[in-house]
Chain A
Amino acid sequence: MSEPNGNGMIGEVIQASTTRFRAIATRVFEPPRFGSFVKVSATGGQTYGVVAGVETASFDSARRAMAFGMPWEQLLREQPQLIELIQTEFEIVVIGYGEGDLLHHYLPPHPPRLHDFVSACTPTEVAALTDSLEFVGTLASMREPSMHELVSAAIREASLARGRDDGFVSEAARAVAELFKDDYDLAMSIVRRLE
């Protein structure tokens, strides 16, 4: 297992496209939180995104994990190699990018490079990214099967980073209601998840 390099690296990009990218977590079982805000920094600027899913599995697709029937603490003593054979991957939906001092709430011209490092956004960055509620629309447009979970998780994470900002949550709820005015049930299922 590689050590984090000290500047908050939490993963490394292994697959990237315009709208989303995938990363391997630096430590097994230690991915960023679902719905939290992350970034990839490169010389041209930063790509920002929201964690849309996490998966932990055997490193080698030809070998599936098997059941050992013992608690983790015992398992690590019994089979110390196991932790080297599994990895945690996470998927990020791109919501914007930074260029110098400019922050854009739309997709970047280029996806991040493979093997670039992923790190968590600072509270200041999250506040800047979520001052505009554009991200709610971007996430909603992804048509994920669990889109309502993703949208509500991102709003909750943003509120946390902003110091439990109730005003922000109310505003986001209004944006959700507006966005899904044609689908009352969906709008309500998101709003219910904001409490």
Chain B
Amino acid sequence: MTLKLDQVYGQVAAMSAALATSRDELVNRVERAVTEWGSDWADEDRVRGKVEAAKTSWLLARPLEQPGSYPLSDVAPPSWRVLATDGSQIEVSRHEIASCFLVNVGEVVLDYGDEPGARLSSAPSLYFEPEDIYPIYGDEERAADGAIVGAVRDTQEFHRLAELARAADRPAAALVDGTLILWRDETNPRGLANLAPDDVKRRRLDAMLELFEAGEQAGVPVVGYVSSPGGSDVVNSLKVLICPEHPVDCDRCPFTPKDMRPSAVTDKPCDAVLRVTDATMFRRLLKAGERSPLFWSGAPVLEAYGRHRVAFCYLDAGEEIARLEVPAYVATSPELMSFAHWAAVDQARRGRGYPVALAEAHEQAIVRWADREAFFRLVAQRFVREGHRVVLSAKQLRKRGALV
């Protein structure tokens, strides 16, 4: 009937006990990571030589900036703007009367400084044509599922954000909720760029690159803001530095018995920093408002991005360590990067830990359950008026009036 909390309770207690044991071990490993960062990473030539040559199954961060601290510099212009978009959707439901999906994109333009102001809005788009419902996704025709609707939504978000960036009449930063790396399309990065122009995956990539182009031309940094990031790209590179082998090749790991996979063994030299995330390490290293140096991401999907490779850094945003991702034109411009850094910190401060522009864009986009019901009622009314056949599934009818 509902979740039986009394039965979960015992399991929660066991989880808590296990956590306490593993936490002590983790503390030691974080300590080791911090030490390696301070000593090994400082030797730039060694880092480049060893990380470049390594063959690993994990993602490696490659150094872009010199090690050291990157404190917050006060670059506040007299007036500036922060842009953000976010989306939500009503997915195709087999239980409803019509095959369609809806994407709602919220957008936010916040002006600060001499002329404060705000523009908050949202725009819905309905998709119902056969090519929307059975689109080509990764070179295959597929019924529009959550992944496809998500890709269409991303495409719209990037597209709108690009328009806002082009229209900016003062210094501005454009925030994206989450990563700029299209992880889902990782499997075949070279293929991605060769997909047909109307392929849903290709369109999302093109919209992302269009956003980068727009930002570059307008001098507006695009920043992907990742809250509570789970990545360990930097720690993975530290593993390579810890490993006594040179060059590192995990497929021939001498610390793993022949009949086992390296992941099944946990006393290899690199396991000294096992399960340490970049965020836990940088929590120890960064002071309020500071960011880490920039790294190039090693995500294979970025091969499809051409010259717009993605770099990232970690930021002490006060409440949490956030990950900032920026395209190459930002990463390689100290001016754009210091504005992006400053704007991210300022936004997190105003939003009490999370950028206010992203929070408001989300609020603008959100489609609540009541909105969803109202939407399908609207569709039904219209269909009835125009004489279309209206049939709800038995399951949907049951949900609307449960038998008690």
Instruction: Tell whether A and B belong to one assembly.
Output: yes
Tell whether, in the assembled complex, residue B111 and residue A80 are in contact, meaning their CB atoms are under 8 Å apart: yes
- Using a CB-CB cutoff of 8 Å, which residues 112-152 of chain A contact chain B? none
CB neighbours of B360 from chain A (8 A) = 81, 85
Chain B window 107-137, contacts with chain A (Cβ cutoff 8 Å), 1 for yes, 0 for no: 0101111001111100000000000000000
CB distance from A90 to the nearest CB of B (A): 23
Is residue A182 contacting chain B, with contact meaning CB distance below 8 A?
A: no
Taking A79-B356, A80-B117 as known contacts, 13 extra A-B pairs with beta carbons closer than 8 A to each other, sorted by chain A number, are: A79-B350, A80-B111, A80-B116, A80-B118, A81-B108, A81-B120, A81-B356, A81-B360, A83-B118, A84-B118, A84-B120, A85-B120, A85-B360
What are 15 sample pairs from A and B whose C-beta atoms fall under 8 A apart? A60-B363, A76-B116, A77-B112, A77-B113, A79-B356, A80-B110, A80-B111, A80-B117, A80-B118, A81-B108, A81-B110, A81-B360, A82-B118, A84-B118, A84-B119
Interface residue tally for chain B (C-beta within 8 Å): 15
Interface residue tally for chain A (C-beta within 8 Å): 13
Is residue A78 contacting chain B, with contact meaning CB distance below 8 A?
A: yes
Is residue A63 contacting chain B, with contact meaning CB distance below 8 A?
A: yes
Q: How far is the CA of A60 from the CA of B117 in the complex (A)?
A: 20
Q: How far is the CA of A82 from the CA of B120 in the complex (A)?
A: 10
CB distance from B104 to the nearest CB of A (A): 15
- Using a CB-CB cutoff of 8 Å, which residues 47-104 of chain A contact chain B? 60, 62-63, 76-85
CB neighbours of A77 from chain B (8 A) = 112-113, 116
Q: How far is the CA of A63 from the CA of B363 in the complex (A)?
A: 10
Tell whether, in the assembled complex, residue B118 and residue A81 are in contact, meaning their CB atoms are under 8 Å apart: yes
CB neighbours of B108 from chain A (8 A) = 81
Q: How far is the CA of A85 from the CA of B121 in the complex (A)?
A: 11
CB neighbours of A80 from chain B (8 A) = 110-112, 116-118
CB neighbours of A84 from chain B (8 A) = 118-120
CB neighbours of B119 from chain A (8 A) = 84
CB neighbours of A62 from chain B (8 A) = 368
Q: How far is the CA of A80 from the CA of B111 in the complex (A)?
A: 7
CB distance from A6 to the nearest CB of B (A): 22
CB distance from B82 to the nearest CB of A (A): 10
Q: How far is the CA of A88 from the CA of B111 in the complex (A)?
A: 23
Closest A residue by C-beta to B114:
A77
Q: How far is the CA of A84 from the CA of B119 in the complex (A)?
A: 8
Closest B residue by C-beta to A76:
B116
CB neighbours of A81 from chain B (8 A) = 108, 110, 118, 120, 356, 360
CB distance from B136 to the nearest CB of A (A): 38
Q: How far is the CA of A83 from the CA of B360 in the complex (A)?
A: 13
CB neighbours of B116 from chain A (8 A) = 76-77, 80
Closest A residue by C-beta to B121:
A84
Q: How far is the CA of A83 from the CA of B117 in the complex (A)?
A: 9
Q: How far is the CA of A77 from the CA of B115 in the complex (A)?
A: 8
- Using a CB-CB cutoff of 8 Å, which residues 335-366 of chain B contact chain A? 350, 356, 360, 363
- Using a CB-CB cutoff of 8 Å, which residues 141-173 of chain A contact chain B? none
Closest A residue by C-beta to B120:
A84
Q: How far is the CA of A85 from the CA of B113 in the complex (A)?
A: 20
CB neighbours of A83 from chain B (8 A) = 118
CB distance from B111 to the nearest CB of A (A): 6
